Structure 1
Amino acid sequence: MDTVYNIQGAKHDLEEEQRWVDDEKEYLHAIVNLPSWDTTYGPTYSAEPSSWRLVKKTGAEKEEVVFTIQGVIEGKELPPVFEDLKIARNKAFFLHQSLMLSGLGTTTFEESLSALTKIWTVFGRQFPEGRLMPWQAGVSAFGGAGTLTLSNRYFTKKSEAGQMQGVPFPSNVDPKKILTKMLNPSLIHTAENNVQYVIRHSDLGRNFQYTPADPQHFRIGDIVEVQFSVVVYKMRTDYYVFKPMLYSIALLDAKWGNDLALCRASITPSPAPTQPLKRKIGYAVVTNATVCAQQGEPMDGIAEQGGGVEGEAERKRAKTAEDESKVSGGLAQMRLA
């Protein structure tokens, strides 16, 4: 459990956000409480890209369901990509951006997780029994409640894209073109691989406005609203994987994320001061004057007079040798005694 995060304060504000309902949004926790919800909503196969999606049946038309949920960011792996990802090109398909949400134990969030489990059960009947991989919520470090992890891959396989067209990576996702260079004849980046990042602004009347945001703006502890769909993909084997696909993140309240960052900074110990290391550098340089003096040949009078820098150095060395001789003689006498 993260002991520096104000769980109760953030939970109170999150519950306030969950009380406001937009009639044009599909709230995950509310769907499965509708009468005969499984006749209005159901899985269907989509060829672009090859997958199974949850759709809403309105007459002859089918519309993919995009859910809305509010929570607190507990973990994230978001762009921008600044460094080489050190991954083989044949593994690039698995690269993704992801977000882990905690509901801090709020009723709405826990009901949403239960609803997602029921939807997983409905999808399971589209495949032979046991072929849909299990799905379950995670456990939060913010108090032990449930978490929801959402993700979206950077690439789509061309063999599964159908008529979908490639689009450039947004500059705030791939500023150094690292992802762009990983594109190859078997992979494309489509509009569905993009995640929208926004910040919500509002006045006292809650007339919301949204402005674009950079992915790095989001922090652990922020209260956000996320939109996502439910998708099932076929794996290389005859098994299938159920995943919530991330489409957008809206920052609702940065207060608790800022407070968490300040608390963590205040308890992080400063590195202990270090003493500079002592070192001996250099060589005993023999000058021409010293050589001449040793040979008894004067050089501009310096050696004869014993003056200058070299002469002073010679006197110091002689004095040091004399002192060492006295010390050595004294120690010898002490040992003999």
Structure 2
Amino acid sequence: MDGHYNFEGAKNRLCAFVEEHHNNDTYQLTNFKDFDKLKPILNEKPTYWRLTVPTSEATQSEELVLSMQGVIVNKDLPPILIKPNEQHQPFIRQSVQLTGFDSKEFQTCINKLQQLHQTFSCQVPEGNMEPLTLGQFRQFDTVEFATRYFTSRRDDPNGTEMPFDQSTDPNGVLARLANNKKYFHGEDNKVLYYALKHVNDESPPRFFDVDPAQFRVGDIVEVQITTAAVPIKNNKFKMISQLRCLALLDGTFTDVSIPYQD
């Protein structure tokens, strides 16, 4: 981000959004405390560990979905306009990298992710969990959330295939990749995109569906994520944070050109 970007203004606005979302109905990462209620579940097809929490029904649980806020410093989002190399099909993904600058709220989110990582570590043989890695933007920590466009039929032979959204695949290049039947686009590959908008002065703001092309580096956003521990080479496991929803909270600070730099 260049010298025209208002770091302090964006950080203050971000902290305000965190305060506003403390009491919403989702599990806000900054104030999540129910680690003792988490129940790790081993999924067989595909194989991975996931975290669940109890529901109002005592005998039932649901996958843990967490939300947090941050500023986009890097992204790889739809639309996909040019056909990727077929060899890259298993790895093509939509991703966003966030920072909170030096806000204590964002650091709290990182600490909570570390605690979730430790929860997963207790489910695998000692020493078999890869460390949680963070990125850097200038002197600030960043976290990345991503979801792949495809799932392997070998991992999930009975998964239901879903069509790509027009905003994601306007030229049909991803749909044509799926014709090889080795991979499919399913429910687990979907990401929802929203923007917080005011309808009028009398009503509170609401979330509306938006085109993912609308998001820019410098935007203040909210993500909803799930976490999982997936097997990698040499019997190791790695914690991934899957992007489930990306919502634009404030695009005020992207009115100027903000090129991404390491």
Same fold per TM (> 0.5)?
yes
Q: Is the contact between residue 48 and residue 164 of structure 1 (CA under 8 Å) also seen in structure 2? A: no
Matched residue SS, 1:121: helix
What is the match of residue 66 of structure 1?
65
Task: Supply the AA of the counterpart residue of 2:140.
Answer: A
**Match among 252, 256, 265 for residue 253 of structure 2:** 256
Residue matched to 2:14:
14
Say which structure is richer in strand: 2
Report whether the alignment pairs 1:222 with 2:223.
Answer: no
**Shift of residue 189 of structure 1?**
0.5
Specify every segment of 5 or more residues in structure 2 that has no aligned partner in the other structure, as ranges: none
2:239 paired residue number: 242
Structure 2 counterpart of 1:75, one-letter code? N
Contact 1:54-1:230 within 8 A present in 2 as well? yes
Residue 334 of structure 1 aligns with which residue? none
Question: Number of aligned pairs?
Answer: 254
Greater share of residues in helix: 1
C-alpha deviation, 1:137, in angstroms:
2.1
1:141-180 alignment, distance < 5 Å: 141=138, 144-161=139-156, 163-180=158-175
Is 2:210 the partner of 1:213?
yes
* Partner of residue 185, structure 2: 189
Q: 8 Å contact 2:86–2:177 — kept in the other structure?
A: no
Provide the C-alpha distance between the structure 2 equivalents of 1:131 and 1:123, rounded to a whole number of angstroms.
Answer: 10
Gaps of 5+ in 1: 265-337
1:43 and 2:44 aligned: no
Deviation for aligned residue 1:162: 5.2
Amino acid in structure 2 at the alignment position of 1:30:
N
Please report the RMSD computed on the Cα atoms of aligned residues, expressed in angstroms. 1.9
One-letter amino acid of the structure 1 residue matched with residue 83 of structure 2: D
The higher-RCO structure (CA 8 Å, 6+ apart) is 2
Deviation at 1:43, TM superposition (A): 1.9
2:50 corresponds to: 53
CA contact (8 A) 2:193 2:209 kept: yes
Q: Secondary structure at the match of 2:61?
A: strand
2:197 maps to which residue? 201
Q: Which amino acid aligns with 2:226?
A: S
TM-score (norm 2): 0.90
Q: Deviations over 1:89-111 (max 9, x none)?
A: 4x311111110001121111110
Rounded to whole Å, the distance in 2 between the matches of 1:3 and 1:127 is 46
> Judging changes above 3 Å, is the alpha-carbon distance between structure 1 residues 167 and 256 closer, same or farther for their aligned structure 2 residues?
same
Of the two, which has the highest radius of gyration? 1
User: How many angstroms apart in 1 are the aligned matches of 2:173 and 2:255?
Assistant: 30
**Residue pair 2:128, 2:237 contacting (<8 A) in 1 also:** yes
2:28 maps to what in 1? 27
